[in-house]
Structure 1
Amino acid sequence: MFQALTLGLAGAIVVGLVAGAGQPPGPRVEKFDEITVGRINIAGPNGINRIVLAHEMPQAPFQGHMLTRTVPPGCAGIIYCAPNGDEVGGIAVSGDAERGHALMTLDYRNTPLEAIGLVTHYGEEGQSASFVVMSPPTGSIDVAKINANDEAEVKRLQDMMVRRIDLGASPQAAGLTISDREGRSRIVIRVNEKGEPEIVTFDTAGKETGRMPPAPSQPGK
């Protein structure tokens, strides 16, 4: 009797194993009420990271290399990556009791260059917020040369970092600045620290060329 039961159980196990052979494994599901980690990499089936969360801002993956960031100590962040692994945006938060900032960006493709950014800042003068649009890239960048400190390639990248639109508000004023391809402010629309609205235009040398409403005339002029 015991031997018959043993053989029957063994047969059932073998049948079960054979029946399950060749079937793809089901998704592994784990449930946690809370988890504490220093970094999480969310990768696709090919192992390429698509989202990275870390208490120290991750380096920027691009063209199979890692670009070192210049960020304040303790800057936590999230980066989003394209299917090829290149960074295409992210969120960064840093600061202490006295000053700090938070930043959210979307990047241009195929060039390690920010496209738009949302920024908040706090410091001695209070808090401020801004929306920034950067100029589109004018070519591609060799990240390997950047990491090798190739002066010409570093300068090419720096020359592409041009702010074209800056919309912001601070305790003193709120305004919109539109710049040319060289990053020179050409049109400023704002409500100044006196609460007065104004539109000001500038030439390429930074000299004021127009104002609405006109500036009050000064005695002796």
Structure 2
Amino acid sequence: MVRFFSSQSFLAIYSGCLTVVFAVTVLAGFARPWSGNASFDQITVRRMNVVEPDGTVRLVISDKAEFPGLYLHGKEIKRADRQDSAGMLFVNDEGTEDGGLIYGASKDAGNGPSSFSHLSFDQYDQDQTLVLGASLEDGKKASGVTVNDVGAYVITPEFIADAERVKAMPNGAERSAAWAKLNVKYPSAAERGFFGRQKDDSVRVSLRDTAGHVRAVLMVKADGEPALDFLDGAGKVTREISGNK
């Protein structure tokens, strides 16, 4: 018996049994759903998805390379124009995009520094209705808050495909005509109000009608002069009240 326990056959069987027990233990650990909490001093990731117990994505935090496309009712639709910034994507209870935060900055030789930040919140199954943004380009600074009206239609995969097709067209009359046709089928968002700093160094409040036409502007110009302008539907100033009058 002692000779058997020291034999090569016993050692091979013993080793095999240990391997099987170890494999079962590891697999059982992976199969068991994680139900505890963990604390980390630091975690480094390229992308993090926050999900509900049923797997519905609710928040994505990502670098540029892994930034997601558009989420519509639990399905992700690729978007080529979302590869230039890192940030966060908000997703509602139904798995549809509900706004987000993107940002970026760079300094190119000969062009100087540029930067942008964009925080937005969307209407249900539609586009952004509230936007907080800031930018720097060619030495010109702008920042402000924008309130939009969006279309009554629902954003669908077909709408995204149509928009991406037009975006991919070369600039010119044909592309402009395609955009005009697309806007008839899917009316674009209309800006209703804006408060912020403009690239001409003025600060202003701009109010628009339901068609997006500017109807009233309260501003302080770059030279410090205050002014209040009223405009008609064609954009013509019908009355101006200046702080110097």
TM-score, normalised by the number of residues in structure 1: 0.76
Partner of 2:157: 144
CA contact (8 A) 1:65 1:144 kept: no
CA distance, structure 1, for counterparts of residue 185 and residue 43 of structure 2: 39
Structure 1 residues 146 and 42: CA distance shift in structure 2, 3 A: same
Query: Is 1:84 matched with 2:94?
Result: yes
Q: Structure 1: how far apart are the matches of 2:244 and 2:78? A: 48
1:70 corresponds to which letter in structure 2?
D
Which residue in 2 is equivalent to 1:188?
A: 217
CA drift of 1:36 comes to 1.1
In 2 relative to 1, CA 114–69 (structure 1 residues): closer, same or farther, beyond 3 Å?
farther
SS in 1 for 2:162: coil
Q: What's the RMSD between the two structures over aligned residues? A: 2.7
- Partner residue, 1:161: 189
Q: Secondary structure in 2 aligned to 1:100?
A: strand
Matched residue SS, 1:195? coil
Determine if contact 2:114/2:138 at 8 Å carries over to the other structure. Answer: yes
2:51 corresponds to which residue?
A: 43
Counterpart of 1:175 (choices 191, 194, 204) is: 204
2:22 aligns to what? none
1:16 paired residue number? none
For the pair 1:110 / 2:121, whether they are aligned, the reply is no
CA contact (8 A) 1:58 1:77 kept: no
* Secondary structure, aligned partner of 1:149: helix
Aligned to 2:138: 124
Distance 1:161 1:70, change over 3 A: farther
Relative distance call for 1:177 and 1:137 in structure 2 (3 A) is same
My pick for the range that moved more, 28-37 or 84-93, is 28-37
d(CA) in 2 for partners of 1:48 and 1:103?
25
- 1:160 aligns to what SS in structure 2? coil
Shift of 1:25: 7.4
User: In percent, how many aligned pairs have the same letter?
Assistant: 21
The 10-residue stretch of structure 1 (29-38 or 55-64) with the greater mean CA deviation from structure 2: 55-64
Distance 1:33 1:164 in 2: 45
Unaligned runs of 5+ residues in structure 2 are 1-31, 108-112, 164-177
Please, which runs of 5 or more residues in structure 1 have no aligned partner?
A: 1-23, 217-221
Once the two structures are overlaid, the 10-residue window that deviates more, 168-177 or 40-49, is 168-177
Superposed, which structure 2 residues align to 1:195-214 within 5 Å? Answer: 195-213=224-242
Assess if the C-alpha contact under 8 Å between 1:67 and 1:147 holds in 2. no
Deviation beyond 6 Å, 4+ runs, structure 1: 150-153
> TM (normalized to structure 2)?
0.69
Residue 50 of structure 1 and its aligned partner are, at CA, apart by 0.4
> Can you list the C-alpha shifts for 1:89-148, whole angstroms capped at 9, x where unaligned?
11000121211200111110122x10101011122234331100011432323x121233
Task: For 1:124 and 1:178, locate their aligned partners in 2 and report how far apart those are by CA, in whole Å.
Answer: 27
Pairs aligned (count) = 190
Task: Give me the whole-angstrom Cα distance separating, in 1, the residues matched to 2:43 and 2:136.
Answer: 30
